[in-house]
Structure 1
């Protein structure tokens, strides 16, 4: 269970998250949706403490940290909680001077102090899981965007985190390459991987998410089963946002094309 209680996040005088309380069940997949600047990426980054909440509580499993304005949290406590999460970023962030297998195994050897052989074996298993066993020795520069993101997913899964956090994992990809990533994440969802995904990609969210949370201006406007949020949202603000995602311009008639 992941639980965020009364989370507030300020950058200077600007409040980005206002008293947000949400929870994510083990084995669930939740999509965080909303307009740019609505707070979804900040909320995601508060889970693994890449952004430190101004106030509130973050709990992952048995570990919890309380935050209060002006009170500094011990680094050891932050690291203890953070190591229970895996993070997939929008722009891959692979080490360009490491092969695919070394990108996946790096944290296992340097942070968790695994023997190199054991780390490499784990990395090969994960590359196989994301369909890239044949690219183990490839450099990131030789991989497509979709392949790089799949390596990044394998890297995030390497230490067996309790939750996989994905920040706009398909937004830097064209539709065809994005489809590769959606397929991998859908397989992880079928295997029961707990995931929280901040995304504008309705295909991704509707394909794999069981729950959806719509944020706007740092406030949870609506939440519930994803199929209800995407097909029958109750709040007017949610309805307008979903309409912008699903709207398709009418094809020009009589264009002769």
Structure 2
């Protein structure tokens, strides 16, 4: 169970998240959707404290941290919570000087102090899971974007996190390559992996998410079952946003968008 309670995040005088309270059940897949600048990536990063909330509470399982303006949270508490999450970034963030298998095993040996052979075995299993066992010794520069993102997913799964956080995992890919990533995430969803995904990709969100949260201007406008949000939203603001995602390119060009 992941709970964000009354989360506020400010950058200077600018409020990016305003009193956000949401819950993510174990085994669920939730899509965070909304316009650019709406707060979805910031909310995602607040879960694993890559962004420190200005105020509110973050709970993952039995661990919780309360935040108050001006207070500094200890590094040990942040690390204890962060280690329960895995993060997949928009632009892969692979180590260019490490092979695929070393990218996946690096955190296990460096952070968790696993023996190298145990870490490599875990990495091989995960590369097999994402369909890249044959690329274990490949360098990132020789992999396609879709393959790099699949390595990044394997790396995020390596320490067996309680939740997988994905920040626009397909936005840097063309449609064919993004399909590879969607299928891997869909398989993880079928296996019961808890995921929170910030995305503009309606195909990704509608394919694998059970729940959806629509954010705009740092506020939760609407939340509910993904099929309802994407096909029959209640709020007018949500309807306008979903319409922009489902319009065909020719329709957008004809309307001057």
The two structures share one fold, judged by TM-score above 0.5:
yes
* Alpha-carbon distance between aligned partners in 1 of 2:72 and 2:206, rounded to the nearest angstrom: 39
Q: Give CA-to-partner distance per residue, 1:55-109, whole Å, 9 cap, x none.
A: 0000000000000000000000000000000000000000000000000000000
* Alpha-carbon separation, structure 2, partners of 1:190 and 1:129: 13
Distance 1:256 1:231, change over 3 A: closer
Deviation at 1:230, TM superposition (A): 0.2
Distance 1:105 1:12 in 2: 38
Distance 1:79 1:243 in 2: 40
Give SS of 1:81's match: helix
Could you tell me how far apart the structure 1 residues matched to 2:253 and 2:208 are? 35
1:223–1:142 Cα change, 3 Å: same
1:253 to 1:53, Cα distance in 2 relative to 1, 3 A: closer
Instruction: Provide the TM-score with structure 2 as the length reference.
Output: 0.97
Which structure 2 segments of 5+ residues have no match? none
Summarize the Cα distance change of 1:119–1:235 in structure 2 as closer, same or farther, 3 Å threshold.
same
Which string of whole-angstrom CA distances, capped at 9 and with x for unpartnered residues, describes residues 214-241 of structure 1?
A: 0000000000000000000000000000
Cα-to-partner distance string for 1:104-158 (whole Å, 9 max, x where unaligned): 0000000000000000000000000000000000000000000000000000000
Query: Offset of 1:252 from its aligned partner?
Result: 13
SS where residue 109 of structure 1 aligns?
Answer: helix
- Whole-Å Cα distance in 2 between the matches of residues 48 and 236 of structure 1? 31
Distance in 1 between the 2:80 and 2:157 partners?
17
Summarize the Cα distance change of 1:252–1:100 in structure 2 as closer, same or farther, 3 Å threshold. closer
Unmatched segments (≥5 aa) in structure 1: none
CA positional deviation for 1:255: 19
The DSSP-based 3-state class of the residue aligned with 1:250 is helix
Mapped to 2, the partners of 1:51 and 1:165 lie a distance apart of 13
Instruction: Give the whole-Å Cα distance in 2 for the aligned partners of 1:134 and 1:63.
Output: 38
- Structure 1 residues 11 and 254: alpha-carbon distance in aligned structure 2, compared to 1, 3 A threshold: closer
The aligned length equals: 257
Classify the secondary structure of the residue corresponding to 1:70.
Answer: coil
> Under a length normalisation based on structure 1, what TM-score does the superposition of the two structures give?
0.97
Tell me: CA distance 1:256–1:245, structure 2 relative to 1, closer, same or farther (3 Å): closer
> Would the alpha carbon gap of residues 253 and 36 (structure 1) be closer, same or farther in structure 2, given more than 3 Å must change?
closer
State the Cα RMSD in Å. Answer: 2.7
Distance 1:106-1:251 versus aligned 2 partners, 3 A rule? same
CA–CA distance in structure 1, aligned partners of residues 219 and 211 of structure 2: 17
Shift, 1:249, TM fit:
3.9
